[in-house]
Structure 1
Amino acid sequence: MRSFFLKKGVNLSVKTYGVTALSYMALGLFASLIIGLIIQTIGQQFGIAFFENMGALAISLMGPAIGVAVAYGLQAPPLVVFSAVATGAAGAELGGPAGAFIAALVSVELGKLISKETRLDIIVTPLVTIIAGYGTAQLLGPGIQAFMTGFGDLIVWATERQPLIMGILVAGLMGLALTAPISSAAIAIILDLNGIAAGAATVGCAAQMVGFAASSFRENKFSGLAALGIGTSMLQVPNVVRRPLILIPPTVAGMVVAPFSTMVFMMENNAAGAGMGTSGLVGQIMTFQTMGFSFEVLGAVLLLHVVAPALISLGLSEWMRKRNWIRMGDMKIREG
């Protein structure tokens, strides 16, 4: 059985489903929901109906995008990939983003097992894949959606009542998730984080990116500043594995700034921006969409998402360098 699974490319592991599949789900989310929200926001702000309609269409195709992304990430055969359009759509309709992910995951793995095992592959493979996905969506979708939404609501509720403690926790954990090889964006959307909890998550994620960019500037120069600051802090994962201490400056920066976000500036965001940090400036664009465009909000965003995390991370990393806890080259981004 195990050899058959391996031959079909089905690897039952936490890494495969919790890291690889979830990361590709995030790409599907970005290529549909998140970019759709950005396009729709541009249309709304400038009164361009074409952009509004285009954005709304992209948002509506979140489920199929997740299905295809998961299938592609799990290296499914073509018929399974194309069938995942339907299973992702079914999962999204019945269980939201989490439902789309689970329905796609189950259907893709079962589709891979049956693929090219019969002479009627062109019929059997998509049939099995779609039945498996739709059945999973019907059976598990509503429950998964209710649980994830309820858990997200609990986090939002707790953050509103304990903004100091929960703000620190949300910022710290979501920031670590962003740098880890999992998807903080997917987590935020699955949990439907919003309000000041989403604002704290944005601060924590932004601190990881901006913090690493600032504290590693001497090693990575301007190319690293851009790659880490508006790309992704996951570029530092190999260095974190070798030297975990480098996580301390950006993580502490996010946790220090978070209470100012939740208690002083009352920063808010939506689920699409909560887990993005400064990646493509999505976290900031969604903050403006949530809180409105004003100089006050712009100033708060610059202070809490960029300036404060950069200064705190840089200062703490320099202090750690003087004690040889961080050495020259520990945060060097290595090509390949």
Structure 2
Amino acid sequence: MKTFLNKKGVEPSFHNYFITALSFMALGLFASLIIGTIIQTLGSEVPILPEAFVEIGEFATLPIIYGGAIGVAVAHGLKAPPLVLYSALFAGSYAADIGGGPAGSFIAALVAVEIGKLISKETKLDIVVTPLVTILVGFFVASFIGPSIAALLEGFGSIINWATDLRPLLMGMIVAGLMGLALTAPISSVAIAVMLDLEGLAAGAATVGCAAQMIGFAASSYRENGISGVVSQGIGTSMLQIANVVRKPIILIPPTVAGVVLAPFATVWLHLENNAIGAGMGTSGLVGPIMAFETMGFSIELLIILSILLVLAPALISLFISEWLRKKGLIKPDDMKLDA
């Protein structure tokens, strides 16, 4: 059995399903739901842009569209053969369309792809059998499992949202710290935020935590990586540091502390809110701030708050802590150097 599974490229593991597949799910989300929301927001908020932006954005955010994107992305991430990859579009689309949301799409696509890979090229009628089996498996998983798992995750997310509203200081710090760490780790923070449907103050705290990781690493590693490192980490992703984190975990302290320290300012005093998309993106592609404007409405006051909370403050706090750790010899030159 093990030999057969290896031959088919089916390798059940935490890494394959909760790191690789989840990361590719996030790419599917970005190519549909996230970019669609950004386009729709720009179309409604920027007067000079044509009304077609709103129409484009609305279409890209339809469940049947982002669900299909998730299905194909998961299949691609799991190295599915062509017929399985194309058929996975159905699993993701159907799961989202019947109310399973992104979580349902992910689960349905994951199971359908792995079963489809087992069937692929095992019969002379492969062109019929493989898509047939993949689509049927996707249908049954989406119908009977997807919505339940989605409801469970959304329920857990509701508890987080409720707890953050009730205890904004403590829960804000916890959410910011954990979501920030998820963003830097090879786990998709945006996929987690969307599946949990984080919103309100919890999403605001998560945005601060994620932004602190990105801006914090950008500021702390400036002497090693220069301006290109600031851009690639501050607007790209702090996940670029994951190899360095594995070698020297202490470099996580400055940006994580920055996020935890700033979270109460966001939740208790400034009442920063966001949606699930912005919650898991931080400053990546400026999605976090854009979604904050989408949630709270654009104002100069909010622009100033976001500039301080998401950029200036985490940069200064992280830089201060990292320089102190350098003086103590706990962080050494090139510990945060990015590979060229």
Which TM-score band (shorter chain)? Answer: over 0.9
1:74 and 2:78 correspond:
yes
- CA drift of 1:144 comes to 1.1
Q: Which residue of 2 aligns with 1:27?
A: 27
Q: How far did 1:148 drift? A: 1.1
- The answer for the alignment partner of 2:271 in structure 1 is 266
Shift of 1:46: 3.0
Q: Which residue of the partner structure matches residue 55 of structure 1? A: 57
**Match for 1:292 among 280, 297, 317?**
297
Matches within 5 A, 1:78-89: 78-89=82-93
Of 158, 164, 173 in structure 2, the residue corresponding to residue 159 of structure 1 is 164
Instruction: Give the residue type in structure 2 aligned to 1:57.
Output: F
**Residue of structure 2 aligned with 1:121, choices 100, 118, 126:** 126
The equivalent of 1:11 in structure 2 is 11
Distance in 1 of aligned mates of 2:283 and 2:68: 26
Q: Quick one: distance in 2 between partners of 1:134 and 1:96? A: 14
Q: CA RMSD in A?
A: 0.7
Counterpart mapping for 1:136-175 below 5 A: 136-175=141-180
Q: 1:115, CA displacement in angstroms?
A: 0.4
The offset of 1:93, in angstroms, is 2.0
Query: How many residues were matched structurally?
Result: 335
Please name the residue that 1:322 is paired with: 327
In the alignment, structure 1 segments of 5+ residues that lack a partner are none
Q: Structure 2 regions of 5+ residues with no counterpart?
A: none
Runs of 4 or more consecutive aligned structure 1 residues displaced over 6 Å after TM superposition: none
CA drift at 1:49: 2.1
How far residue 43 of structure 1 moved from its aligned partner, in angstroms, is: 1.0
Inter-partner Cα distance in structure 2 for 1:142 and 1:124: 27
Query: What is the TM-score when the length of structure 2 is the normalising length?
Result: 0.98
Aligned-partner Cα distance in 2 for 1:205–1:313: 13
**Aligned counterparts of 1:2 and 1:215: Cα–Cα separation in 2:** 46
Distance in 2 between residues matched to 1:187 and 1:145, nearest whole Å: 12
Aligned position for 2:69? 65
Alignment partner of 2:202 out of 194, 197, 200: 197
Distance in 2 separating the partners of 1:166 and 1:57: 35
Q: What is the CA–CA distance in structure 1 between the aligned matches of 2:164 and 2:29, rounded to whole Å?
A: 25
The percent of aligned pairs where both chains have the same amino acid is 64
Letter in 1 for 2:96: A
One-letter code aligned to 1:147: L
**Is this contact kept in 1: 2:95–2:147, CA < 8 A?**
no
C-alpha separation in 2, matches of 1:9 and 1:141: 24
Paired with 2:289 and 2:54, the residues of 1 have a C-alpha distance of: 19
- Structure 2 counterpart of 1:100, from 90, 102, 105: 105
2:40 maps to: 40
